[in-house]
Amino acid sequence: MDLKSGYPFWAVKNGLLKAFPQLTHDHQSDVVVIGGGITGALIADELSRHGHHVVVLERRDVGWGSSAASTALLQYEIDTHMTELAERYGEANAVLAYRACAEAIGELETLAAGLGDVDFARQQSLYYASNEEDVTPLKAELALRQKHGFAAAWLDRDTVLAEYGFAAPGAILTQLAASIDPYRMAYQLFAKVVERSGEVYDRTQMEAMVPDDHGVTLTLTNGVTLRCQHVVMAAGYESQAWLPEKVAVNRSSYALITDPLPAKALGKLRHTMVWESARPYLYMRTTCDGRLLVGGDDDDEDIPKRRDARVEEKAEGLARKVEALWPMLKINPTFSWGGTFAETDDGLPFFGPHSAHGPRVHFAMAYGGNGISYSMIGAKLLRALIEGREHPLAELFSFQRLAKIT
Ligand SMILES: Cc1cc2nc3c(=O)[nH]c(=O)nc-3n(C[C@H](O)[C@H](O)[C@H](O)COP(=O)(O)OP(=O)(O)OC[C@H]3O[C@@H](n4cnc5c(N)ncnc54)[C@H](O)[C@@H]3O)c2cc1C
C-alpha cells in the first residue's frame, strides 16, 4: 500500500533527518512497536520514558507513512460532534473523549517543548456553518461543550465577516487548538528513545507474529526473529490487514501549501485554523513561517496510482475554494499531495488488544481527523494496559465498541 502521493511538505522541508539501521540479528525486548510514524513515536517515547525497553520496527523510513502527509492540526474537536457521541455512547463518554483530546494538546505541547524545533504553535479554531441548516446543530454542539466547561463562543454572520473576512451564517470559535510538524516530531521522539537505550530500526518489516501465554514471537521478512512481552501495532492504516474484520474505511485526503504569505494578507488566519460543518470539510491553518496549509476534498479513492493522478486537480480545487471565501487571497499551491486516511464509523480510534491475537498484542489505530491527538491519548492508554493498570478510555476506545457499531 502506497500511503501518499505528490510532495508532502514535511518530507520536502526536512528531508531524511536520520537513517536508522536495519535489524539483522535475532533479538528480544520488553515491547516491540511496529510502525515508525507519529503514533509509534509517541508510544515508544511514553514507554521508554517509563523504563520499558522498546524496539521499534519500521518497514519504510521513519515518518515516511501517512505522518509525512498529515496537515497536523491538533484539535480537541472530534469529527463527530459531542452531541452525536452523546447520543451513541452517553454524555459522560462523549465528554470523556473530548476532554482527553483537549488534554492531549497540552501533553503534546509539553513534549514539543522538551524536543525543541518541531513547529508547535497554539492556535484558535474557527468551525463555521457551511449553510443555514447547520446553524442549529452547531449551536446545540456549542451549548453541550459549554455545559462541560470547554471555552468556546458563538460568532454570528456579521462577526465572522468583520473579524475573519468571509461569509458564513455563524461559527464556533474555540480557544484551544494547535499545530505541529508531525514528521520532525516523530524523528525527534525516536532520537530520545534511542538516547534512553531503546532501539529503532528502519527498512525492517514484521511479517508474522505468534503470541503465547508468556510473550510474542515476531518474524521479520529477512528471517530474523524477535521475542517480546508485548507488541504494539502502530502500523497506521496498514494495521487493518492484521484484523479479521473491517473496522474503518480507507479514503484519500488532499492538501496544498503556499509560499509564505504576508502577515497582513493572512490577517487572523495567522493564529486561527478554520474548518467547516460540511463533510468532507475544507480546512486550513498556517505554518510557523507564514505559509497557508489547506486540506480537504476527501474521496473514496483507495488506489494510489489514481490518487497520484488527482493531486494537481484536487489542489487547484482547494485553492479556488479558499479564494471563493477570501477573494483578495491569491493561492498558488507550492507543493501539493494526497494521502491515505482511514475513518471509523463513529470517528473514534481503536486502542488495545483484539481477540484474534490475544492480550499481548495491542493495536494503536489512531484513525480520523484527530489522529495525532488520539495517538497521544493512545500512548498513555497502552502504557496503562501494558503495566496492568486501568485507563478511563480503555473500554470506549477498545474493539468491544464494534458490537455497538455493527
Ligand atoms: C492528508 C492528511 C491530513 C491529515 N490531517 C490531520 C490533521 O490535521 N490532524 C491530525 O491529528 N491528523 C491528521 N491526519 C491523520 C494523521 O496523519 C494520522 O493519524 C497519523 O499520521 C497516523 O500516524 P501513524 O504513525 O499511525 O501512521 P503512519 O505514519 O502511516 O505510520 C505507520 C508506519 O507503520 C509502518 N508499517 C506498516 N506495516 C509495517 C510492518 N509490517 N512492519 C514494519 N513497519 C510497518 C509503515 O511503513 C508506516 O511508516 C491526516 C492524514 C492525512 C493523510
* Ligand 1 atom index nearest CA of 37: 25
* Ligand 1 atom index nearest CA of 252: 53
DSSP string, 243-308: SSS--SEEEEEEEEEPSP--HHHHGGGGTEEEEESSSSPPEEEE-TTS-EEEEEEEE----HHHHH
pLDDT score, position 303 = 80
Ligand 1 centroid to Cα of residue 238, in Å, is: 9
**pLDDT, tens digit, 9 for 90 and up, residues 237-261:** 999 999 999 999 999 999 999 999 9
Query: CA-based Rg of the chain, rounded to a whole angstrom?
Result: 21
C-alpha cell at 373: 491527538
Instruction: Specify the residue with its C-alpha closest to ligand 1, atom 7.
Output: 72
Q: Judge whether 316 and 369 are in contact, CB under 8 Å.
A: no
* Ligand 1 site, CB within 6 A: 3, 34-40, 57-60, 64-67, 69-73, 205-206, 234-236, 238, 253, 255, 295, 339, 341, 366, 369-373
Instruction: Specify the residue with its C-alpha closest to ligand 1, atom 38.
Output: 235
Residues of the chain with pLDDT under 50: none
From the CB of residue 326, how many other CB atoms can be counted at a distance below 10 Å? 17
* Ligand 1 atom index nearest CA of 366: 19
Rounded distance, CA 276 to CA 127, Å? 5
**pLDDT, tens digit, 9 for 90 and up, residues 197-235:** 999 999 999 999 999 999 999 999 999 999 999 999 999
Ligand 1 centroid to Cα of residue 36, in Å, is: 9
**What are the residues whose beta carbons fall under 8 Å from the beta carbon of 234, sequence distance 6 or more?**
33, 34, 35, 37, 39, 40, 43, 364, 375
CA distances from 93 to 24, 75, 96 (A): 45, 18, 5
Ligand 1 centroid to Cα of residue 237, in Å, is: 7
pLDDT score, position 28 = 97
pLDDT score, position 292 = 97
